[in-house]
Structure 1
Amino acid sequence: MRNLSLPNTWFGFFLIVVLVLGVFFRFVNLDKKVYWHDEAYTSLRISGYTSAEVNQQLFNGQVIGIEDLQKYQRPNSEKGLIDTIKALAIDDAQHPPLYYILVRFWVQLFGNSVAVTRSLSVLFSLLVFPCVYWLCLELFESPLVGWVAIALIAVSPFHVLYAQEAREYSLWTVTILLSSATLLRALRLTTKDGNKTYHIRAWGIYAATLALSIYTFPFSVLVGIGHGIYVIVIEGFRFTKKVAAFVLASLMAVLLFSPWLVIAIATWSETGANWTAVPIPLIAWLKTWGIHINRAFILTQGDFGFDTLLTYLTLPIFLILVSYSIYFICKNTKKEVWLFVLTLMGTLTLALVLPDLILGGQRSTSSRYIVPFYLGIQLSIAYLLATGITSARFLEQKFWQIVMAALISAGIVSCAINSQAETAWNKVVSYHNYQVSEIVNEAKAPLLITNSFGINFGNSLALSYVFEEKVRLMVVPGNTQPDFMNILNIPQGFSDVFLLNLSEQFQEKIKKESNFKIEPLYNDNFLWLSKLVKP
């Protein structure tokens, strides 16, 4: 594999411009997009309150205001850091505490606005650039591949969207790259350097970075398994000193994570992710996987974003490009290179895809769960482009320069459009929160009635960011429907009464047993808003 370097000064300038644009897109309009269901849970966790406490103190059928909801969306004197950790352990042990501890400190230092809360994710996303560059140096021994990878990630709509979200996924991206680079470094030093002190230190750093990655998101265990498969195959399935060092380092990482592992096992509940096991039609599953490919390079709209002309036109192109890049890297690099990319892409992905296909479900349809897959295809395309644009053949060089310019241009245009949008595909159940809030906010003195079942719990908190202060809510706990007599005797002073995500059976009961009428106002896959019309 030849050493690839920057072809000329102008190209270096072009890459720097792309990087600057990528940084700009991460910071611009940081608070414009809807603060959605999962982000509201982030704020709930850092407040230190549990879901049970919110249900007991707030979601109990009483009429409440926006400020009452916001109390559970910021740190306060009633709850400390230990309460944040306890709340995670009790309610959501599948999310380890590292990110939430960091974001709590961040918000305490700089304030609890949407922009501030999200800005920590932006800063983490900037660390992706040096980490992917280091990984490319270790893997390809090429600065050019590193720079091309930085350019692709800088304006990737997928990475920019998650850089602007108050969740742990940009930090997870950093730790995946960091643990991968430190693994390759440890393997290299074990091969070239006879100093055992360096070996121990290098493998210790790998253990620490892998533990940090697991403390960020538990799917890092599968990334570590992929690392193990890579080491074992490279060593010819023999128990060499590299394999032994990897095993010891991995055990150290697990040992470091064991305190939270014990907590997670003791408090584990499937309620947080049981939606992933719900079967969906195969055609919908295949469409979603097609969208996974597109989202690495171009903006998609809607909840799933498949049924658009742009998707139908671009998906075949991206599928061909990704497939060819994988073929190209396998054909033109040593096994130590292409195998690493394939195990990075495939281990976690297969662990989610196979249960979907065998048992049914949608575990692999969530883009945020397959960050290693995105990184793998971007590494393979970066190597393809870096090789192509430095080709000795003039026509081949020009062709790949055009392909690279087109890819980066598509990313820039997508990010520019996305920067002006109020919502995005990764907002899922809260995609249309602004539309719902506009309807409710138009009323003179509105009351919104809902329950705290399923997505309604988190979305009630999320809606507090877009409702005006005049809006009042009545949230009843769990899947309970509001008391029928309470509906018939709405407190005085409300000009309009809205019903959000209440069952059809309950609405039919109102129609049959009273003079009230139900006027449908808004309906999408996740939000059903209607209005109670008085006789």
Structure 2
Amino acid sequence: MDKLQLLEKSNPPTWLKILVISLIGLGIFFRFTHLGQKVYWYDESATSLAISGHTLAEIKQEVFSNGSNNEGVIPVSTLDKYQHINPELSVADTVRYLITSDPQHPPLYYVMVRLWAQVFGDFPAGVRSLSAVISLLIFPSVYWLCLELFESALVGWVAMAVMGVSPLQVFFAQDAREYGLWMVMILVSSAALLRAIRRESFFTWAVYALTLALGLYTNLLTVMVAIAHGIYVLISQQFRFNKTLRNYLLSSIAACLMFLPWLIVIITKVNTATNLLSWITFKTDSPFDLIGIWLSRISRIFFDFNLASDDAWVNNLPSESPLYYSIPTIIFSLFLIIYIIIFLSDRLSTNTSLFIGLLGGFPGLTLLLYDLIFGGIRSIHFRYQLPLYLSIQIAVVYILAFHLLLEKNWQKNLWQIMAVGLLISGLVSDVRFFQAETWWPQIGAKNLLAMSQRINQSNNNILLLSSKNDYNLGVILTLSHNLEPKICLLPIQNDQLPMMLQYYNSIFFVDDLENSLAHQLQKDKTNSLKLVYPLEGFWQLDKNQKT
């Protein structure tokens, strides 16, 4: 019996099961505690707007119509209704919001969270609790995929241990967005495909078609996972049109037909989606920066101490990323990728290593190459690289299981130390996450928290200005969660300076650096205008000071 057969037939020892169950228990604790502690950031405010049933056009009409004459000062609490469920509106109105205002986000998660919030509450912790519950599905999903890939229950148990303490999984378990559900659908659809190929029954192929369709209704990047599946089937069947390839094509067509209604929405609303995604076309100064960030973030799926803000490299801002942290993580990630490729090619069957490589490599490298050739920052956004991160986790899990069971004494001891170190690093990361108010993937959350605190701690008669801009409106919505009711909001529609500024002691405004309103205020020598947070376009106007 060779080593691979021994691994396949080995049952997990009792001590391993106890350890895994304990780690899963800790993972559940970190997923469900302090659900309301983290700052409710920009994207999560968009989730609350979606489940409120109101559309972006409605909020713009109310807010900016009140401020159309630059005299329509409104309390910031006016925005509160756009962050809570309107009982007069239904799930259909949530879908209507996505169609008209946010078509690049398919409706499955948002319909689920709307129904969930009606029962468990639409406050931040209530909305996030759905993601925490969904995150529990990671455990059976990864176990099933490991069984289909490696035919080993032992590998499945090790996978659940790693997933239990992974900071990647814990973060998305407390994020009120669809990405936790997307990870589940990636794992389940992949396992369903392997099972369908193995069983070749109508039922198993129907299950694959359904899971693929649900994945598409969760996140549009499931298309890249589906392409990776297709390439795998084509290569594994040696480019022959046989029964397996025929069934795969029929199942994929069925999934596409089920997704057709939303595909029509995307086609008809392509301009809206393109405008909302314009930020991903930002070009970095150097391709080496892009590759460095891409590599550095791979390490975060195993240990993440919230030390670095490598987005600063891209945004041309002073970096918060200490050199002693970023360089080692890049080296670690590069070494890990090379080792995974060598090990899987040497130890696993061609089909198994091919599947793991395609599942993560095709989406991950496609985004990276596209950015390097055409420009953009799609490849370094954590949530877009989840197929890559999941495939790396699965590969590492198999490597650990292989060495822990099959190596000789001194080698086994070495790998035991490495496995313990990996799990401890994950637990330390989870403790850091448990204690934090913001986490680095919450883009701008740290600044938004500081902005709200700065406004709240100012003198009485506080005025917050905002120009007519969708992004600015989103920032104000996000700030509203932490602003005191006394704060007044004045939307500026025509970039004209309001006359009543003299009546307020503390004046702040959110505006683009290139907006004419900012230039007007800078020219006013009776006031001093200070750009506090460039990335968010947050300014403070100090009265009666020399510039």
TM-score, normalised to structure 2, is: 0.91
How many residues are aligned here?
520
Whole-Å separation in 2 of the counterparts to 1:302 and 1:524: 19
1:193 alignment counterpart: none
Matched, 1:517 2:528: yes
Are the aligned partners of 1:88 and 1:96 in contact in 2 as well (CA < 8 Å)?
yes
| Candidates 198, 206, 209, aligned match of 2:208 | 206
User: Which residue identity is paired with 1:42?
Assistant: T
Matched, 1:388 2:403: yes
User: Which residue identity is paired with 2:265?
Assistant: I
Q: Deviations over 1:241-282 (max 9, x none)?
A: 000000000000000000111111111220111111221122
3-state SS, counterpart of residue 2 of structure 1: helix
Are the aligned partners of 1:287 and 1:306 in contact in 2 as well (CA < 8 Å)?
no
Matched, 1:448 2:464: yes
Change (3 A) 1:125 1:490: same
2:339 alignment counterpart: 324
Change (3 A) 1:152 1:169: same
3-state SS, counterpart of residue 426 of structure 1: coil
Change (3 A) 1:452 1:413: farther
Q: Deviations over 1:367-416 (max 9, x none)?
A: 10111000110011000000011124001111111111111111110110
Change (3 A) 1:519 1:223: closer
Q: Deviations over 1:279-327 (max 9, x none)?
A: 1122321222122212111213344264442232343234323321232
Change (3 A) 1:101 1:204: same
Change (3 A) 1:476 1:489: closer
Are the aligned partners of 1:179 and 1:210 in contact in 2 as well (CA < 8 Å)?
yes
Matched, 1:472 2:472: no
TM-score, normalised to structure 1, is: 0.93
Are the aligned partners of 1:135 and 1:177 in contact in 2 as well (CA < 8 Å)?
yes
Change (3 A) 1:489 1:64: closer
| Candidates 374, 377, 380, aligned match of 1:362 | 377
Whole-Å separation in 1 of the counterparts to 2:349 and 2:5: 11
Are the aligned partners of 1:3 and 1:142 in contact in 2 as well (CA < 8 Å)?
no
1:290 alignment counterpart: 295
1:64-463 aligned within 5 A: 64-190=74-200, 199-269=201-271, 270-281=274-285, 282-299=287-304, 300-304=306-310, 306-443=321-458, 444-453=460-469, 455-463=471-479
| Candidates 35, 41, 47, aligned match of 1:36 | 41
Change (3 A) 1:242 1:7: closer
Whole-Å separation in 1 of the counterparts to 2:292 and 2:180: 25
| Structure 1 spans left out of the alignment, 5+ residues | 191-198
What's the C-alpha RMSD, in Å, of the aligned pairs? 1.9
| Candidates 2, 5, 18, aligned match of 1:2 | 5
Whole-Å separation in 2 of the counterparts to 1:452 and 1:307: 37
* 1:357, distance to aligned residue in structure 2 (A): 1.5
| Structure 2 spans left out of the alignment, 5+ residues | 311-319
2:313 alignment counterpart: none
Whole-Å separation in 1 of the counterparts to 2:354 and 2:78: 53
Are the aligned partners of 2:282 and 2:375 in contact in 1 as well (CA < 8 Å)?
yes
* 1:159, distance to aligned residue in structure 2 (A): 1.8
3-state SS, counterpart of residue 431 of structure 1: helix
Are the aligned partners of 2:20 and 2:158 in contact in 1 as well (CA < 8 Å)?
yes
Identity of aligned residues (%): 38
2:540 alignment counterpart: 530
3-state SS, counterpart of residue 321 of structure 1: helix
2:317 alignment counterpart: none
Are the aligned partners of 1:21 and 1:155 in contact in 2 as well (CA < 8 Å)?
yes
Whole-Å separation in 2 of the counterparts to 1:116 and 1:105: 11
1:22 alignment counterpart: 27
User: Which residue identity is paired with 2:477?
Assistant: L
The answer to which of 228-237 and 423-432 deviates more is 423-432
3-state SS, counterpart of residue 447 of structure 1: strand
Q: Deviations over 1:335-394 (max 9, x none)?
A: 121011011012212331222111111121111011100011001100000001112400
* 1:7, distance to aligned residue in structure 2 (A): 5.6
Q: Deviations over 1:67-91 (max 9, x none)?
A: 2111011211342222211111111
1:195 alignment counterpart: none
3-state SS, counterpart of residue 85 of structure 2: coil
Change (3 A) 1:526 1:489: closer
3-state SS, counterpart of residue 18 of structure 1: helix
User: Which residue identity is paired with 1:244?
Assistant: R
Whole-Å separation in 1 of the counterparts to 2:522 and 2:178: 45
2:316 alignment counterpart: none
* 1:237, distance to aligned residue in structure 2 (A): 0.6
| Candidates 52, 58, 67, aligned match of 2:63 | 58
Q: Deviations over 1:158-188 (max 9, x none)?
A: 2211111110000001111110111111111
Whole-Å separation in 1 of the counterparts to 2:79 and 2:360: 41
3-state SS, counterpart of residue 449 of structure 1: strand
* 1:8, distance to aligned residue in structure 2 (A): 3.4
Whole-Å separation in 1 of the counterparts to 2:222 and 2:519: 47
